[in-house]
């Protein structure tokens, strides 16, 4: 893969477009249809050792931390192992208790983020087990972990992460299926998820073809200085990532909030000038999300729903509908339009998309 922008105006846009190919590389050689599981050759823990894992904790910074939050949902759902993500920077300073039956996972695009590296070293120093989910082969974090899953997403130049966010989540989905099939995930469910993972690159490509629709949605932010991104459960992780992208490149103040918590504070700030983006996957929280939309609308707040066709007749103002694939992977698909939304809002505001002020691609200092 070359380092130039090709036909695109920005590296970020090129890297969004790269996603189907990047995903194919992350998946390559890792789907095992015969056993309805995944093959992860970079993990040195044995099946027996993986079965003894009682908890998983995922560590990362920025988008890598948010990818971990979505990965934690997948692992908990598919493998039924309690799993939580935590900002590596918080973890390393709070004198964490390292448990021998916990598996620690460090997520990092560059493999050089100082706080994530320090978290890995803290786990190792206390005798814990850690694996990496890293893009850059041979990077410091990858070497320090000694085992894990490489993304093979190709170089990512834009400061904000897009394709490596998507590929990190897919790497954790591969791990979730693997751990699930060692436990109670059925053959049928294993096969269903393998088929969905295999279909994912084409599904992402189909969303990218609808860029014009998303560019029109971006006009919704004209005149706004504040926006809310809300969702529940995995939808909340997507809301976090959507808000992070928007604030990083457009300099709009975007706040992600669990939809259920709006009424405990932020609702006081909702006005006709504060758009709310609600992430609505097909899950059993849909009805609750509809009542959140009604709460926001009742205060005059404009609402954009990122959802699936035919899911709801809630009174949102605009929507972008992504054909559903499988419930476990749908939240990840809902993130793709949010990447393009942030990109187009930033473009319309004339921002320096590839090099946002005050930010660095890789933070190698404390
Ligand atoms: C910086 C970048 C973010 C990135 C984070 C973690 O803050 O600006 O885009 O998500 O570092 O980077 P890593 O290389 O560890 O994934």
Query: Is residue 2 very low, low, confident or very high in pLDDT (cuts 50, 70, 90)?
Result: low
Closest residue by CA, ligand 1 atom 11: 362
Q: Which residue has the higher pLDDT, 361 or 166?
A: 166
Burial of 309 (0-12, 13-18, 19+ CB in 10 A): exposed
Full-model pTM: 0.96
Q: Is the pLDDT of residue 46 over 90?
A: yes
According to the model, what pLDDT value does residue 280 have? 93
- Which residues are near ligand 1 (CB < 6 Å)? 61-64, 108-110, 113, 116, 159-161, 359-363
1: pLDDT strictly greater than 50: no
Integer distance in angstroms from the first to the last C-alpha of the chain? 32
pLDDT for 245 equals 97
SS3 99: coil
Q: Which of the residue ranges 304-308, 328-332, 354-358 would you say has the lowest mean pLDDT? A: 354-358
CA 312 to chain centre: 24
Q: How many residues does the chain have?
A: 366
Could you give the percent of the chain with pLDDT greater than 70?
99
* C-beta separation of 16 from 163 below 8 A: yes
Site of tokens 């900002």 = 87
pLDDT in tens, 222-246: 889 999 999 999 999 999 999 999 9
The structure tokens 């692992």 sit at 75
What is the per-residue pLDDT across 271-294, written as a single tens digit (0 to 9) for each? Answer: 999 999 999 998 888 888 888 888
Predicted confidence (pLDDT) at residue 76 exceeds the cutoff of 70: yes
CA distances from 268 to 253, 263, 264, 265 (A): 16, 8, 9, 6
Give phi and psi for 319, each to the nearest 5. Answer: -150, 160
Q: Which of 5, 297, 355, 361 is catalytic?
A: 361
Residue 353, classified by CB atoms within 10 Å of its CB into exposed (0-12), middle (13-18) or buried (19+), is buried
pLDDT, position 365 = 82
Which residue, chain included where needed, has tokens 């983006």? 277
How many whole angstroms from 187 Cα to the centroid of ligand 1? Answer: 36
Instruction: State the Cα–Cα distance between residues 10 and 7, nearest whole angstrom.
Output: 9
Return d(Cα 134, Cα 37) in angstroms, integer: 21
pLDDT at 80 over 90: yes
Q: Say whether pLDDT at 313 is over 80.
A: no
**Quick check: is 361 catalytic?**
yes
Counting atoms of ligand 1 from 1, which one is nearest the CA of 141?
A: 15
Q: Closest by alpha carbon to 246, among 113, 348, 111?
A: 348
For range 90-102, the mean pLDDT: 95
The ipTM of this complex is: 0.95
User: What tokens appear for 85 in the block?
Assistant: 């993500």
Give the pLDDT confidence of 189-210 residue by residue, as tens digits: 999 999 999 999 999 999 999 9
Strand partners of residue 276: 228, 303
Q: Could you tell me the distance, in angstroms and rounded to a whole number, from the CA of residue 293 to the centre of ligand 1?
A: 32
What is the structure's pLDDT at 275?
95
| pLDDT score recorded for residue 312 | 65
Q: Give 364 Cα–ligand 1 centroid separation in angstroms.
A: 10
Provide mean pLDDT across the span 306-311.
87
> In angstroms, rounded to a whole number, what is the distance separating the alpha carbons of residues 72 and 104?
12
What band does 105 get if pLDDT is binned at 50, 70 and 90? very high
Residue 262's pLDDT is 87
**Stretch (H or E) spanning 161:** none
Percentage with pLDDT > 90 across the chain = 84
| pLDDT on residue 347 | 94
């Amino acid at each position: 893969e070359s380092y130039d922008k090709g036909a695109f105006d920005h590296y970020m846009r090129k890297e969004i477009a790269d996603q189907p190919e990047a995903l194919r590389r992350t998946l390559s050689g890792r789907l095992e249809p015969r056993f309805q599981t995944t093959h992860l050759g970079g993990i040195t823990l044995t099946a027996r050792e993986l079965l003894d894992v009682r908890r998983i904790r995922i560590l990362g910074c920025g988008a890598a931390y948010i990818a971990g939050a979505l990965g934690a949902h997948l692992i908990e759902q598919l493998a039924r192992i309690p799993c939580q993500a935590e900002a590596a920077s918080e973890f390393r300073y709070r004198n964490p208790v390292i448990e021998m039956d916990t598996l620690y996972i460090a997520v990092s695009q560059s493999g050089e983020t100082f706080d994530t590296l320090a978290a890995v070293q803290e786990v190792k120093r206390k005798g814990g087990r850690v694996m990496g989910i890293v893009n850059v082969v041979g990077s410091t974090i990858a070497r320090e972990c000694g085992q894990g899953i490489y993304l093979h997403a190709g170089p990512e130049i834009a400061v904000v992460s897009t394709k490596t966010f998507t590929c990190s989540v897919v790497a954790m989905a591969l791990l979730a299926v693997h751990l699930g099939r060692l436990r109670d995930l059925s053959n049928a469910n294993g096969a269903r998820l393998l088929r969905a993972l295999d279909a994912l690159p084409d599904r992402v490509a189909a969303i990218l073809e609808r860029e014009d629709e998303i560019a029109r949605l971006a006009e919704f932010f004209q005149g706004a200085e504040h926006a809310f991104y809300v969702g529940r459960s995995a939808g909340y992780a997507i809301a976090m990532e959507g808000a992070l992208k928007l604030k990083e490149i457009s300099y709009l103040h975007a706040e992600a909030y669990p939809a259920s918590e709006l009424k405990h504070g932020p609702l006081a700030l909702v006005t006709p000038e504060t758009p709310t983006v609600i992430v609505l996957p097909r899950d059993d929280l849909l009805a609750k999300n509809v009542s959140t939309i009604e709460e926001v609308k009742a205060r005059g707040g404009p609402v954009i729903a990122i959802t699936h066709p035919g899911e709801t007749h809630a009174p949102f103002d605009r929507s972008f509908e992504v054909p559903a694939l499988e419930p476990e992977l749908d939240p990840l698909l809902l993130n793709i339009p949010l990447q393009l939304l942030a990109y187009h809002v930033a473009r319309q505001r004339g921002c320096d998309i590839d090099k946002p002020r005050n930010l660095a691609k890789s933070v190698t200092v404390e």
